[in-house]
């Protein structure tokens, strides 16, 4: 009995810890680059909800598009005495690179988010959508922070160092593809250990920390869940730019996908991970971390341009770890080696060579001496460069069909040249991050806020209305008067597809009716506000008209907004569309394999149209076996609209199995709004898979 009680208490404690840590998650998601900040600065395995450098814009529902697999922070010290009085010539607090090693980075944990403007309300047919990690109540409003979003995270390390990380994200379209992180490391002489001892134990009083190194360990992965996993390849090269004569940036480590020369892809140029169904380039990204500043010393805040003192790029398996049983001296050697790698390119014939496979980078800053109460600041940024999703889809299809032409090249050479332009955008974002940091982030012009948005389905139309932001003060000048108008963007079938500008208005119009819609089709919208540029006198493009974030108020629920036709009062016009049904996958931006986790899948949708207000739909095989029974309206289908003439079915039987190719019979009983029977209707439809 006692054993069961102990097991229960341990399980309860673990659940509490996970719930507590999950509550500490905050995310930047106002710009193109989305990122999750954890309370220990690492990427722990207890949370599947994480963006991890998601670009562009992130996948709210399934957390795909990730470009960072792991993140760790190591703090190494020399000649150090621990809380038990044991002397260590070298010691390293290893912070979570292996996802479960953050035990030395624990309490007290704090993770707070501040924003200029709260996340907009998005109302879809009377239902307010809620993002999983960012809500209106999860952040406090502040006009004094440097950028649109600020997250401040603090935690402690077992070497008596308090870590405060402050990160900023911007909505300015010239600066929304990077996120700045400022780390402040303070010698406070307190060990953070476990929940059992309260999280605080005094270290030996007044202990001076010497030979201190701070190491950021980065495992970047272009395409992540979407590219590498779908094509089952991991053929990346890593590079460091910034420690060679003529380099124009402060320091930048980046990774990119290249040809695999392995397995089934040995004779196929898979640069960019083309989707095997559509040709879409799934891994065109160049994810990167760059350096903005490193204190010269605890008492010298000037930027030490010789930092990071170590740039180590090597296979994941070569990094030492306490979890692997390696001594602290081996970890400290990683931090203090003084190596200045420039990458893995040309070090091996291909990216699967054991000497370069799965490259991981360590940017190490030091050595520092930090007396009690003193601190050291290090500032970095993360960014991603890539060709647009629109180009990835369109040019990928052209490449698959043998029609790609780029810069006078064709075929594989054209694809290689096109994807390589992602490096140009990466360097542009990096240069803008350095520019903005030198201005302190605050001196950048600001766009209007994103308005609250309401979407409503109608017969043959979608009604959009939004809150006026015309009288909102400009954040930089504090004045009113530069507002110009609004833009409406729309994506079809999935919120991850390409958005097109469908409406632009100058002036404070706050309503738009989208009549260019098809019954039963799913639509996703974003409404932005833009200014006239008159207040935007600073920045890289003075006078530029700036637009609010396209990502902040887009609806994302998988049902989207679906126009409908009003219910009929007879049974004479019922039919099935399409008939015959032929599985083709999503027409633009997705594949059956891409969407297999999304059940029901959009590409399986079949519609019964011309229905009365209330109906019972029964579907049979040709031999008379009942396959499925549907109610109209359907309480189990969020897209089922009362009093409409349409009902969708995703070809899933009552036993939750996808139906096979064949001829099927439907039988429909119909009723009007008051429950009066209207009769029966039968028919056939064909499924081809």
CATH topology of domain 575-688: Immunoglobulin-like (2.60.40)
3-state secondary structure of 674: coil
pLDDT of residue 40: 66
pLDDT of residue 195: 42
Which are the contacts of 186, defined by CB distance < 8 A and separation ≥ 6?
A: 161, 162, 163, 164, 370, 373, 374, 375
For 382-426, write each residue's pLDDT tens digit. Answer: 999 999 999 999 999 999 999 999 999 999 999 999 999 999 999
**444 pLDDT tier (thresholds 50, 70, 90):** very high
Residue with the larger pLDDT of the pair 667 and 109: 667
**365 pLDDT tier (thresholds 50, 70, 90):** very high
Strands (E), 434-562: 453-458, 461-466, 483-492, 500-506, 511-514, 523-531
**18 pLDDT tier (thresholds 50, 70, 90):** very low
Residue 201 has pLDDT above 70, yes or no: no
Exposed/middle/buried for residue 292 (C-beta within 10 Å: 0-12, 13-18, 19+): buried
3-state helix/strand/coil string of 149-196: EEEEEEEEECCCEEEEEEEEECCCCCCCCEEEEEEEEEECCEECCCCC
Residue 38 has pLDDT above 90, yes or no: no
Q: Work out the mean pLDDT of the chain and round it to a whole number.
A: 85
3-state helix/strand/coil string of 209-223: EEEEEEEEEEEECCC
Residue with the larger pLDDT of the pair 44 and 380: 380
**595 pLDDT tier (thresholds 50, 70, 90):** very low
3-state helix/strand/coil string of 278-309: CCCECCCCEEEEEEEEEEEECCEEEECCCCCC
CA distance 556 to 127: 12
Please give the average per-residue pLDDT across 9-26, as a whole number. Answer: 46
Name residue, tokens 């054209």. Answer: 414
pLDDT of residue 443: 84
Residue with the larger pLDDT of the pair 636 and 307: 307
Please give the average per-residue pLDDT across 188-209, as a whole number. Answer: 62
Residue with the larger pLDDT of the pair 583 and 201: 583
For 536-550, write each residue's pLDDT tens digit. Answer: 999 999 999 999 999
CATH topology of domain 445-556: Immunoglobulin-like (2.60.40)
Residue 604 has pLDDT above 70, yes or no: yes
CA distance 430 to 180: 11
Query: Any idea where the domains of the chain sit in the sequence?
Result: 2-438, 445-556, 575-688
The yes-or-no answer to whether 445-556 and 575-688 have a common fold is yes
Name residue, tokens 């957390």. Answer: 63
For 76-125, write each residue's pLDDT tens digit. Answer: 999 998 877 889 999 998 776 654 555 555 545 677 899 998 889 999 98
CA distance 121 to 124: 10
Tokens of 318: 């070569």
For 475-486, write each residue's pLDDT tens digit. Answer: 888 899 999 999
For 312-325, write each residue's pLDDT tens digit. Answer: 999 988 998 888 88
Please give the average per-residue pLDDT across 274-286, as a whole number. Answer: 92
pLDDT of residue 476: 86
CA distance 121 to 129: 8
Half-sphere exposure of 71 (CA within 13 A, CB side): 20
Tokens of 585: 């996958």
Global pTM reads 0.83
Tokens of 135: 């809500």
pLDDT of residue 590: 39
Residue 596 has pLDDT above 80, yes or no: no
pLDDT of residue 204: 56
pLDDT of residue 597: 42
């Amino acid at each position: 009995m006692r054993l069961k009680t102990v097991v229960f208490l341990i399980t309860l404690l673990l659940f509490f810890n996970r719930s507590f840590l999950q509550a500490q998650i905050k995310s930047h998601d106002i710009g193109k680059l989305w990122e999750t900040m954890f309370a220990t600065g690492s990427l722990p395995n207890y949370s599947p909800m994480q963006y991890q450098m998601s670009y562009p814009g992130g996948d709210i529902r399934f957390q795909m598009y990730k470009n960072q697999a792991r993140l760790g922070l190591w703090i190494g010290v020399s000649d150090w005495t621990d809380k038990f009085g044991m002397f260590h010539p070298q010691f390293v607090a290893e912070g979570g690179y292996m996802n479960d090693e953050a035990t030395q980075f624990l309490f007290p944990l704090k993770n707070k988010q501040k924003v200029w403007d709260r996340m907009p309300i998005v109302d879809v047919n009377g239902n307010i959508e809620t993002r999983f990690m960012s809500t209106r109540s999860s952040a406090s409003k502040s006009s004094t922070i440097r950028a649109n979003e600020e997250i401040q995270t603090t935690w402690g390390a077992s070497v008596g160092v308090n870590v405060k990380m402050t990160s900023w994200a911007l909505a300015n379209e010239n600066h929304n593809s990077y996120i700045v992180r400022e780390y402040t490391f303070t010698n406070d002489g307190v060990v953070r250990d476990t929940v059992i001892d309260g999280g605080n134990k005094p270290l030996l009083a007044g202990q001076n920390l010497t030979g201190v190194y701070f190491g950021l360990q980065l495992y970047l992965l272009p395409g992540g869940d979407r590219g590498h996993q779908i094509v089952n390849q991991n053929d990346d090269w890593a590079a460091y730019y910034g420690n060679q004569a003529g380099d124009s940036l402060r320091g930048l480590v980046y990774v990119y996908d290249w040809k695999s020369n392995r397995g089934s892809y040995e004779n196929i140029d898979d640069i960019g991970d083309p989707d095997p169904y559509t040709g879409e380039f799934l891994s065109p990204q160049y994810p990167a971390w760059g350096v903005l500043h490193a204190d010269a010393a605890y008492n010298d805040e000037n930027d030490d341009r010789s930092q990071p003192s170590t740039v180590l790029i090597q296979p994941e398996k070569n990094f030492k770890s306490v979890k692997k049983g390696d001594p602290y001296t081996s970890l400290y050697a990683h931090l203090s080696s003084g190596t200045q790698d420039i990458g893995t390119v040309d070090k091996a014939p291909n990216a699967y060579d054991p000497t370069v496979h799965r490259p991981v980078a360590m940017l190490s800053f030091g050595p520092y001496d930090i007396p009690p109460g003193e601190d050291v600041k290090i500032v970095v940024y993360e960014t991603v460069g890539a060709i647009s999703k629109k180009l990835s889809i369109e040019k990928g299809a052209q490449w698959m069909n043998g029609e790609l032409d780029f810069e006078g090249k064709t075929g594989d050479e054209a694809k290689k040249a096109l994807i390589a332009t992602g490096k140009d955008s990466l360097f542009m974002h990096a240069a803008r991050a350095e520019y903005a940091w030198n201005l302190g982030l605050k001196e950048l012009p600001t766009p209007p806020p994103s308005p609250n948005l309401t979407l409503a389905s109608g017969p043959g139309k979608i009604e959009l209305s939004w809150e006026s932001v015309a009288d909102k003060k400009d954040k930089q000048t504090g004045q009113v008067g530069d507002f110009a108008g609004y833009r409406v963007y729309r994506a079809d079938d999935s919120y991850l597809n390409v958005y097109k500008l469908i409406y632009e208005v100058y002036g404070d119009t706050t309503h738009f009716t989208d009549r260019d819609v098809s019954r039963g089709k799913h639509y996703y919208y974003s409404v932005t506000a833009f200014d006239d540029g008159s207040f935007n006198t600073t920045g890289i493009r003075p006078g530029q008209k700036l637009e609010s974030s396209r990502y902040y108020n887009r609806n994302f629920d998988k049902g989207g907004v679906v126009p409908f036709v009003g219910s009929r009062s007879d049974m004479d016009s019922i039919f099935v569309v399409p008939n015959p049904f032929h599985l083709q996958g999503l027409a633009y931006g997705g594949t059956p394999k891409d969407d297999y986790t999304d059940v029901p899948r959009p590409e399986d949708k079949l519609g019964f149209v011309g229905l009365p207000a209330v109906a019972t739909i029964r579907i049979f095989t040709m031999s008379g076996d009942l396959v499925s029974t549907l109610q109209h309206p359907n309480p189990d289908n969020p897209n089922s609209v009362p009093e409409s003439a349409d009902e969708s079915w995703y070809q899933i039987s009552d036993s939750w199995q996808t139906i096979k190719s064949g001829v099927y019979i439907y039988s429909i009983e119909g009723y009007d709004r008051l429950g009066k029977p209207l009769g029966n209707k039968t028919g056939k439809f064909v499924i081809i898979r």
